[in-house]
Structure 1
Amino acid sequence: MKDTLKHNGMRNKLADVLSAKGITDTKVLDAIKNIPRHLFLDSGFEDHAYQDKAFPIGAEQTISQPYTVAFQTELLKIKPNDTILEIGTGSGYQTAVLLHLRAKVFTIERQRELFKKTKLFFTKMNYRPKKVIFGDGYKGLPQQAPFDGIIVTAGAPEVPKPLMSQLKVGGRLVIPVGVEEQVMTLFTRKSEKEFEKQELGSFRFVPLLENKN
């Protein structure tokens, strides 16, 4: 598959849709306009890549709806060179958005098939996260902590405590919490022991599974 002017036009339209839905961060919208989402999908979905919908990517996982990607990214309030931990690499599309915002990204994937496929894809596309890890996202990445931001791209029945502890003071954790349906939740670390919590609407994600490796 190639990236064409037609795809570019479709991306601009998608950014307009997300803007109309309430995404205001121009850097996030710029990422949506620039990243070729159709290349992250199987070719059978190419014609639908710029609809605001989630699609299957194998291993019972999905590429998130663009609005969800933009919404979660906007909540992180990323500055250049921020260190971000992503739980759930998936197709790599969310990773690419974070990299476009010039974050230093560490990303963890627990599905071996997806991990191999996406790591290869990053190399082919010249996307350069700091590290792509096969492992249990529940544990986070203590050896690289603390992080400016942590983003979880799967539904967690509860908030994993290791992720809270791996945030810098002032850092932000964006995580969908719930079983059947998830509430997008933002935790901001105010001090060593104090966190501010905000709940920001209902979403649906594939489940975040623990100890599956």
Structure 2
Amino acid sequence: MSWHCHGTNYAELVSNLQKRGILTSPEAASAMSKVDRKLFVPPTALPYNDSPQVIGFGATISAPHMHSYCLSLLADYLKPGMSVLDVGSGSGYLTAVLGLMVGETGRTVGVEHIPELVDRSIDAIKQTPAGSLMDMGRLEVILADGKLGYKEGAPYNAIHVGAAAAVLPAALVEQLKPGGRMVIPVGTMAQDLVIVDKLLDGTIKKKIEIGVRYVPLI
């Protein structure tokens, strides 16, 4: 998928994502506009291009249109006071946006297995308005195996997974709150972005949204 929503600056990038009908949630757009992508990529990267950017250690930050697409799918589960888990949090960019959406009364947990990215993402988040959530203990980035989630913070209203799992991780499904939603890329060579809804009675419903290409969940 290529949406070509590049901007000459960050505000133009966010505006183009909205104009193309990808970033459909006003709340997500507001939160995204407060977290400059430039802070989360290397100095040599192209932060306002609508394309993935390499952030080191075999990891990338997803293209803005994919972040926007996932935020739009999860927006109803990211209201103030709700709880969200960001698996494979990487650069920390989306973790910061998610944190601003659930706010001071919510809880945001990023899980990343590369120590250097954990440290770097914390430093970057602290340079944004989401840094105050970190100071309050409402947002944290944990060094852990993403496939196992973070049981201590469960259950979650929303779970975003930023890397492709070969199969749907049982631990993440278990940590999803009844009435909650997970968005996760699933597959190896051929991948699909899958919406996983846990109904109030605990029943799991899965829907394939679009074909995607993500780095593997390691």
TM-score calculated relative to the size of structure 2: 0.85
TM-superposed CA distance for 1:124, in Å, is 4.8
Q: Which moved more, 1:147-156 or 1:176-185?
A: 176-185
The correspondence of residues 56-67 of structure 1 with structure 2, limited to 5 A, is 56-67=54-65
Question: How well do the aligned residues superpose, as a CA RMSD in angstroms?
Answer: 1.8
TM-superposed CA distance for 1:21, in Å, is 4.4
Q: Which moved more, 1:11-20 or 1:200-209?
A: 11-20
TM-superposed CA distance for 1:192, in Å, is 4.4
Q: Which runs of 4+ in 1 moved over 6 A?
A: none
Q: Distance in 2 between matches of 1:177 and 1:71?
A: 16
Task: Extract unaligned runs of 5+ from structure 1.
Answer: 1-7
TM-superposed CA distance for 1:141, in Å, is 1.4
**For residues 142-199 of structure 1, what are the alpha-carbon distances to aligned partners after superposition, in whole Å with 9 as ceiling and x for unaligned?**
2221111111000111110011111111010110111123211111111444112111
**For residues 128-153 of structure 1, what are the alpha-carbon distances to aligned partners after superposition, in whole Å with 9 as ceiling and x for unaligned?**
25321111111111222111111100
- Say whether the 8 Å CA contact 1:155–1:175 is kept in structure 2: yes
TM-score calculated relative to the size of structure 1: 0.87
Q: Distance in 1 between matches of 2:66 and 2:118?
A: 21
1:169 matched residue in structure 2: 178
1:54 matched residue in structure 2: 52
Q: Distance in 2 between matches of 1:112 and 1:120?
A: 13
Do the aligned partners of residues 9 and 33 (structure 1) sit closer, same or farther apart at CA in structure 2, a change above 3 Å counting?
A: farther
The one of 124, 127, 138 aligned to 2:147: 138
Q: Distance in 2 between matches of 1:61 and 1:17?
A: 26
1:12 matched residue in structure 2: 11
Identity of aligned residues (%): 31
1:39 matched residue in structure 2: 39
Q: Distance in 2 between matches of 1:34 and 1:166?
A: 29
Q: Distance in 2 between matches of 1:180 and 1:97?
A: 29
Q: Distance in 1 between matches of 2:70 and 2:36?
A: 19
Matched, 1:194 2:203: yes
